[in-house]
Amino acid sequence: MKKLLKALLILVLVIVLAAGGLLGFLTVTEYRPEAVEALSFFDMPEQPLPALTEGQSLSILSWNIGYAGLGAASDFFMDGGEGVSADEETVRHYLADIAAQITIGDYDMVLLQEVDTDSKRTYRIDESVPLSIGQSVFAYNYSCPFVPIPWPPMGRVYSGLMTSSEYRIDSAERVALPCPFSWPLRTANLKRCLLVSRLPVGESGKELVLVNLHLEAYDDGEGKIAQTKQLADLVQEEYAKGNYVIAGGDFNQTFPEVMAEYPMINPDYWAPGVLENDALPQGFSFFYDLEVPSCRLLNQPYEPLDVAHTQYYVIDGFLVSPNVKMERVMTLDLGFADSDHNPVNLRVTLK
């Protein structure tokens, strides 16, 4: 009995020391970005890109690519599934499909979310390289050498937002958003941000302020509210300067009228917050497509005929200033083949 108790005591001590060591490691290596950080361009064309002009029409794509690991065959442990990513061959297949879709679309600007650069879950593939068009910039919102969940652990994750443009970007910056998690949860969690790019508009002195965003997902709701408030303040401030403003991405919140089209089929499923029109800065508009869902729940591999367990959402779209005229917004129905999100295409004119 004494030997058994001693062995149990040693086992408990080893577990406590290992957990303490891991927590200490995560605390020391925690990603702590500044409130605002200037970003460098990682891809520049050989020939100078043209500047935008007033009255110009633009085609902009926003797509949460699910790090090319969450296609139709995937589920995800945080959504009630079990998985984290696909096998390497499938990840490379998803990534090639995503890159091809971007290329054939002939978009002027592309806003991507969940782009991995050096993560265990995507076999340390730098996904930013094949997905870049024109001039590109990247901002991390997940930087952790070891994520200890689920089991086996997710391990190293380096991922973030990427903006590409066929028109000249003069500067870009990472703007930190409020983090709703306290220590120790925040040590291995995302540090959300806005990727703000500034594109000159002719000789007018105005800029197109292009904001790439991916707001909080698995919080109690307060994080989304605080982050949305900061986004609203930023776009309102830029519009007051006379700039054009387009913010696009994954809001992890649904838009007015969407719940009637895509109601929750199970109260236990992940539910997005709701963006109301009174959250809009004066004169601004949300642009989104109700015809096609932009996201699916990853509780299981995609089974569209299993209507009792297939939950859809519209959480991807755009927030646009009054001096930008919307021509069309359309979610591309790709059947969630390569990501748990469908891409959203916005066509606008700078008034």
- Number of compact structural domains in the chain: 2
Rounded to 5 degrees, φ, ψ at 317 are 180, -155
Q: Give CA separation, 282 vs 9, 40, 211, in Å.
A: 63, 33, 18
| Whether residue 1 sits in one domain with residue 133 | no
Integer-rounded Cα Rg, in Å, for the chain is 21
Question: Is 90 exceeded by the pLDDT of residue 140?
Answer: yes
Tens of pLDDT, residue by residue over 218-257, are 999 899 999 999 999 999 999 999 999 999 999 999 998 8
| Whether residue 8 sits in one domain with residue 138 | no
Q: What's the CA gap between 344 and 144, in Å, rounded?
A: 29
Tell me what pLDDT residue 324 has.
98
| Whether residue 321 sits in one domain with residue 229 | yes
Tell me what pLDDT residue 232 has.
97
Structure tokens at 311: 């939950």
Rounded to 5 degrees, φ, ψ at 283 are 90, -15
Strands 324-331 and 193-201: unpaired
pTM: 0.96
| Whether residue 74 sits in one domain with residue 158 | yes
Looking at residue 163, which CATH number applies to its domain? 3.60.10.10
Q: What's the CA gap between 300 and 80, in Å, rounded?
A: 8
Helix (H, G, I), strand (E, B) or coil at 233: helix
| Whether residue 258 sits in one domain with residue 142 | yes
| Whether residue 24 sits in one domain with residue 161 | no
| Whether residue 133 sits in one domain with residue 213 | yes
Host domain of residue 243: 34-350
Question: Is 70 exceeded by the pLDDT of residue 12?
Answer: no
| Whether residue 291 sits in one domain with residue 149 | yes
Percent pLDDT > 90 in the chain is 88
Tell me what pLDDT residue 28 has.
95
| Whether residue 209 sits in one domain with residue 122 | yes
Question: Is 70 exceeded by the pLDDT of residue 161?
Answer: yes
When pLDDT is averaged across residues 201-218 and rounded to a whole number, the result is 95
| Whether residue 189 sits in one domain with residue 81 | yes
Tens of pLDDT, residue by residue over 177-197, are 999 999 999 999 999 999 999
Q: Which residue has the higher pLDDT, 2 or 114?
A: 114
Phi/psi region, residue 208 (left: phi>0; alpha: psi -120 to 50; beta: rest), is beta
Mean confidence (pLDDT) of the chain = 95
